[in-house]
Structure 1
Amino acid sequence: MSFSHSSGDDDENRVFVNFNHESTFSSLAVGTRNRFRLYNIKDLDRLELLYEDDSDYTAIAERLFSSSLLAIVSLSSPRKLRVCHYKKRTEITSFSYTNTILAVKLNRLRLVVCLEDSIFIYNITDLKFIHSIRQTQRNPNGIIALASSSEQCYLAYPAKQDKGEVNIFDAHKLDNKLTIAAHDNPLVSLTFDTKGTKLATASDRGTVIRVFDTSNGDCIYEFRRGYARCVSIYSLSFSPDSQFLCASSNTETVHIFKLNEPQPQDDNLAVIFKSYVKKFCQTAGYFDSVADIMNQWRSFATVKLPLVSPGSRTICAITYSNQRSNVLIATTDGYLYVYDLNLNEGGDCTLIRQHRLIDDIACSDGQQSSTTATATTSTSSPSSS
């Protein structure tokens, strides 16, 4: 998931951030009012500047894994998609649409473009149009997800505007696979794991996050971010091994959930308590809600972010590199935070690095960089797509 942020009507402080979509999360795209940058984030101690361009505001930027292929939409031309080879600094092709482009996704088989009421699918090898999903339910926020796996090349998007149903479409076979009744409220975030076998979902209530088996639509995990306070979930992201799921929201806390633990079973005390509750509850619906809450898991680990400016958004990712496990949070304030994640014990994550990603807008109030964002221009570039 990617975000642009603007404080009120001040476009001078608009920032775009987006990780590339692969298991290693090896790069981060950053755009401001007059500059676009692509960072290599494999070395979290010292970021490497892969590409820089003086350009218009970037509304969307998607990199095909670690290749040189970029799909870019600018704020000045929101209906035009440019596909570029950033190493050669050339435009390969462009596509124009009748409405604003809300999301773009790439994998080794497909390029997917999402508008408010339609989705267009292209073959990634020759960028030829091959399929469209038209007259979809209104999707004004461009909520879609594309699995990175070629074997499970699934595309997920909302099936209904007012309820949390999600369609899974096989973008390889170009056929509908299944529909999942994920939530009672409208969807705000979707993401697949690396293999495309799991789909994580969140609704606009933001209290419960569910994980579904994409082969049959069964709910296999259910996590509770909170009990009473409704929040806006900004991003969901699986770890490379699909054993952890992180979620960022409009609060200062990022939650990390563990997937490889067995579902909790009722012990004698739980059975007695449920029987007691059932006896005194007047409706089965109320009892069911209590039982559901008892069976939902809380977070395995948490990240507490520094003070961010009002309206700032975040995207999160879990990475494994150099025998280290980290949680990355990029903000539309223009920061990249790196936290240490203990895979065995969980708990509170420790901030170990803080990078300032941009130098052409003013720092947000209350922000101070503990680590200067040092970036060295790359002398070598990733392989061409």
Structure 2
Amino acid sequence: MLSGSPTQGMFSNSRIGNSESPNSGASSSFTQPIVDMSENDETELLSITWNQDYHCFAAGTNHGFRIYNCKPCKETFRRDMKVGGFKIVEMLFHCNILALVGAVANSHYPPNKVLIWDDYQSRSICEFTFRSEVRGVKLRRDRIAVVLEHKIYVYSFTDLKLLHQIETLANPRGLCCLSHHSNTFVLVCPGLNKGQVRVEHFGLNVTKLISAHDSQIACFTLTLDGLLLATASITGTLIRIFNTMDGTQLQEVRRGADRAEINSIAFSPNVQWLAASSDKGTVHVFSLRVRVSGEDSLTQPNVVQGPALFHQNSSTSLDPLISTNTGANPNSTFSFMRGLLPKYFSSEWSFAQFRLPQSTHLIVAFGSENDVIIVGMNGSFYRCSFDIVHGGEMMQKECVRFLK
């Protein structure tokens, strides 16, 4: 069983299997249990995903899936199976509910099927089957978002009914992000135009379309309350931070001057820092000049903020979202010549950096204010810290080969 208590009241047994997918319908039959087994074959990583508070991560493998705690890095749970592996494993905080999507070689769970699995009961809750391959799944306590190549379906977690359908530009990366505060429901996905991001404030019935980049979107992330959005394009040089309420760009930071693929972006819990990982094998940390009224709510998700928080951060008053740069992560030393030199000389460069010994696909998160966690598709785990006053090279605190 996964760490944490089973989710209570999330499903009504009488309603299981009654929802319908517009493509083919959700399966009403229970699937066969995943069977524990011993494997002598070499284990291959297919995916790595954080849980919603970055305290754990899930690894999809060619034999099943594994769950790891981050502090310290330690495998806490695994399930191996006879029929193949999973390319998507999505956790729901620390509870026993997971969303699973099979790999191509999985004979029982094909890549066009989403399995909602309750490991406390060792059974499937339901299945959603689609006509095309599932590119991503995102969970929050009350919603399931299934990402296909050109569409996103949003279901209720209580009765599995379809609530929303969203058309997107071709989305092979399965890009989608949800807020996780109980009083705000924000979904971000690609829009219908290149470089465009669509922001859905479902609680307010508001849709914002943001022209974030000239190139195709490669990566984005939200703060827990969904009020701030960070985006990167396939060019991989700039990261932009937006107010999701009115689409205003609040800040722009630069990873570098050369092209790179940004694999992941993460806000720190206090929204003072932003981390980004790329295929260059370097993790950058930037100081943010944006702040959110009521920052304490970011670490206390149950505190009710309500409309007042949105009002303070609305387009009529952007001042609460912008603070003066106090020296951390200054513009480059050429900033006094802004407008006279190429743009990359006057950009805001990273405040701290960590260079890995080898380049691999990396995902990054914050463990605390100045504690950065890095997980690689080569099975490596790093924890490092940076000086919040002077920045510079980060100090390595932990290095583990978690895939054994």
Q: Which amino acid aligns with 1:330?
A: V
Which of 243, 257, 262 is residue 324 of structure 2 equivalent to?
Answer: 262
Partner of 2:353: 302
Q: Distance in 2 between matches of 1:114 and 1:107?
A: 14
Distance 2:58 2:155 in 1: 23
Deviations 1:201-233 (A, max 9, x none): 000110000000111111111101112x10011
Q: Distance in 2 between matches of 1:344 and 1:85?
A: 45
TM-score by length of structure 1 reads 0.77
Question: CA distance change for structure 1 residues 68 and 171 in 2, over 3 Å: closer, same or farther?
Answer: farther
Task: State whether structure 2 residue 101 is matched by structure 1 residue 73.
Answer: yes
Shift of the alpha carbon at 1:343?
2.7
Tell me, which stretches of 5 or more residues in structure 1 are unaligned?
Answer: 1-10, 278-286, 360-385
Q: Is the 8 A contact 1:51 1:86 kept in 2?
A: no
The equivalent of 1:281 in structure 2 is: none
Letter of the 1:69 counterpart: I
Counterpart in the other structure of 1:317:
365
Determine helix, strand or coil for the equivalent of 1:183. Answer: coil
Return closer, same or farther for 1:18/1:221 CA change in 2, 3 Å cut-off: same
Specify the alignment match of 1:363 in structure 2: none
Question: 2 CA distance for matches of 1:167 and 1:30?
Answer: 29
The correspondence of residues 276-287 of structure 1 with structure 2, limited to 5 A, is 277=340
CA distance in 2, matches of 1:348, 1:274: 26
- Once residues 293 and 255 of structure 1 are traced to their aligned partners in structure 2, the CA distance between those partners, rounded to angstroms, is 16
Question: Shift of the alpha carbon at 1:295?
Answer: 4.5
1:205 pairs with 2:205: no
- Amino acid corresponding to residue 16 of structure 1 in structure 2: S
184, 192, 197: which is aligned to 1:152? 184
> How many residue pairs were aligned?
321
1:39, 1:48 within 8 Å by CA — same for their partners in 2?
yes
Deviation, structure 1 residue 348: 0.9
1:247 to partner: Cα distance: 0.5
Distance 1:271 1:79, change over 3 A: closer
1 CA distance for matches of 2:136 and 2:337?
47
What are the ranges of 5 or more consecutive residues in structure 2 without an aligned counterpart?
Answer: 1-41, 290-322
* 1:306-385 → structure 2 map (5 Å cutoff): 306-308=357-359, 312-320=360-368, 325-359=370-404
Quick check: 1:185–1:204 contact (8 Å CA) kept in 2?
yes
**Take 2:165 and 2:215, find their aligned partners in 1: how far apart are those partners?**
26
How big is the shift at 1:171? 3.6
User: Match of 1:60?
Assistant: 88
1:179-209 Cα offsets, whole Å, 9 max, x none, are: 1111111100010012211000000110000
State whether residues 186 and 202 of structure 2, in contact with CA within 8 Å, keep that contact through their aligned partners in structure 1: yes
C-alpha displacement at 1:109, in angstroms?
A: 2.5
4+ aligned runs moved over 4 Å, structure 1: 263-267, 269-272
Question: What's the offset of the Cα at 1:40?
Answer: 2.1
Q: Is the 8 A contact 2:61 2:87 kept in 1?
A: no
- Provide the C-alpha distance between the structure 2 equivalents of 1:343 and 1:195, rounded to a whole number of angstroms: 24
Cα distance change of structure 1 residues 344 and 52 upon mapping to structure 2, 3 Å threshold? farther
Q: Distance in 2 between matches of 1:296 and 1:263?
A: 13
The answer for the alignment partner of 1:139 in structure 2 is: 171
Maintained 8 Å contact 1:107/1:149:
no
Report what 1:373 is aligned to.
none
Query: Could you tell me which amino acid in structure 2 is paired with residue 334 of structure 1?
Result: G
Q: Does 1:189 pair with 2:234?
A: no
CA distance in 1, matches of 2:148, 2:285: 31
| Equivalent pair of 1:110/1:171 in contact (CA under 8 Å) | no
1:107 and 2:175 equivalent?
Answer: no
Once the two structures are TM-superposed, the CA of residue 248 in structure 1 deviates from its matched residue by 0.6
Deviations 1:267-311 (A, max 9, x none): 9x9898457x3xxxxxxxxx8xx4x54542111111111224xxx
Amino acid of the structure 2 residue aligned with 1:28: F
Instruction: Please say if residues 109 and 172 of structure 1, whose CA atoms lie closer than 8 Å, have aligned partners that are also in contact.
Output: no
Change in CA separation of 1:138 and 1:274 when aligned onto 2, cut-off 3 Å: closer
The answer to whether the Cα contact below 8 Å between 1:319 and 1:328 also exists between their aligned partners in 2 is yes
| One-letter amino acid of the counterpart of residue 19, structure 1 | W
Identical pairs, percent: 31
Shift in alpha-carbon separation, 1:63–1:13, aligned structure 2, 3 A: closer
Matches of 2:98 and 2:119 in 1, distance apart? Answer: 7
Deviation of 1:326 after TM superposition, in Å, equals: 1.7
Amino acid at match of 1:47: K
SS state at 1:105 partner: strand
**Greater strand fraction, Structure 1 or Structure 2:** 1
Distance 1:49 1:35 in 2: 14
**Residue 344 and residue 99 in structure 1: after superposition, are their counterparts in 2 closer, same or farther (change >3 A)?**
same
Q: Provide the TM-score with structure 2 as the length reference.
A: 0.73
Q: Deviations over 1:51-109 (max 9, x none)?
A: 43336221111111122110010103100000011232221111101110001111123
* Superposition CA RMSD, Å: 2.6
Q: Which amino acid aligns with 1:59?
A: K
Amino acid at match of 1:54: M
2: CA distance between counterparts of 1:274 and 1:340? 32
